[in-house]
């Protein structure tokens, strides 16, 4: 059973990754996912919605012909090299590889101190990419910034578009077979959704790293990541939630 040998996850925290849970297609009945008892167990419909938010990348996709874009993509993909995450010759019986990790154990419900940038924004685009060595896959999304709550500098001003990413995505192999690679309880935001994003500095990768996020809906706040840490704000009114974030920011100074 494969393991991840890369100990540093630049986007989130430093942890040792554990066992892979593989999802196999059951006899005409869709998929059965083994989920961690530590996290939220979704209904079948909710689970499908979570998975469908991850975009697809072709395993044999050619490199960008433009040298500047190609160089930038290589820089973005560096931190996902040496993941030993994506299989080169996968079994077609397995539709998903779900990696277990305790990434959330050091996370606060409102990680204002750990965040270099906190913004309210709408997801304008979402695409999957392989790392340079094709051992990792990550989802990159474009955020249209509506309000900056922390960190005015660095191109994250209101009205700007910024890029962020986190691990996970579908990989489609020659012949049409595809598999979803992701971390348990670490989800992808929906295109068109409005969120409060807690972001790490992009560094040399050009992309911000997502610590976590909360979706702002007419029915109330919905945590992006499905672990107990982020549940207390579920259903909270938008204005009340934003004020809680501002209070946490004031308290952190």
**pLDDT digits over 77-116, tens only?**
999 999 989 999 889 999 999 998 887 787 899 999 999 9
Any domain includes 8: no
Tally of structural domains, the chain: 1
Any domain includes 1: no
* Res 27 pLDDT > 70: no
For position 38, what pLDDT does the model report?
Answer: 37
For position 9, what pLDDT does the model report?
Answer: 41
Instruction: Give whichever of 5-9, 11-15, 86-90, 121-125 has the largest mean pLDDT.
Output: 121-125
For position 208, what pLDDT does the model report?
Answer: 95
Q: Environment class of residue 39 by beta-carbon count within 10 Å: exposed (0-12), middle (13-18) or buried (19+)?
A: middle
What CATH number corresponds to the domain at position 67? 2.40.50.120
* Host domain of residue 235: 20-252
Any domain includes 14: no
- pLDDT per residue over 142-170, tens digit each? 999 999 999 865 456 667 899 999 999 99
pTM given for the model: 0.82
Any domain includes 15: no
Any domain includes 9: no
- pLDDT per residue over 109-135, tens digit each? 999 999 999 999 999 999 999 999 999
CB environment 231-250: b (16+ within 10 A), e (fewer): eebeebebeebbebbeebbe
For position 156, what pLDDT does the model report?
Answer: 60
């Amino acid at each position: 059973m494969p393991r991840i040998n890369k100990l540093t996850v630049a986007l989130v925290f430093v942890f040792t990754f554990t066992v892979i849970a593989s999802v196999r297609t059951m006899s005409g009945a869709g998929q059965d996912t083994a989920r961690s008892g530590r996290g939220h167990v979704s209904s079948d419909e909710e689970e499908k919605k979570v998975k469908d938010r991850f975009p697809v990348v072709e395993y044999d996709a050619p490199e960008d012909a433009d040298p500047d874009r190609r160089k930038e993509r290589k820089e973005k993909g560096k931190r996902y090299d040496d993941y030993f995450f994506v299989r080169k010759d996968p079994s077609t019986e397995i539709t998903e590889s779900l990696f277990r990790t305790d990434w959330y154990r050091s996370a606060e419900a409102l990680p204002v101190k750990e965040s270099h940038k906190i913004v309210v924004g709408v997801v304008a685009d979402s695409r999957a990419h392989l790392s340079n060595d094709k051992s990792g896959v990550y989802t990159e999304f474009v955020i249209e910034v509506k309000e900056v709550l922390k960190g005015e500098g660095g191109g994250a001003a209101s009205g700007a578009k910024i890029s962020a990413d986190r691990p996970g995505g579908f990989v489609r192999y020659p012949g049409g077979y595809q598999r979803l690679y992701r971390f348990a309880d670490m989800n992808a935001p929906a295109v068109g959704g409005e969120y409060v994003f807690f972001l790490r500095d992009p560094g040399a990768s050009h992309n911000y790293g997502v610590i976590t996020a909360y979706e702002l809906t007419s029915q109330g706040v919905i945590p992006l990541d499905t672990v107990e840490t982020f549940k207390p704000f579920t259903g909270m009114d938008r204005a009340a939630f934003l004020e809680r974030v501002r209070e946490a920011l004031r308290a952190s100074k």
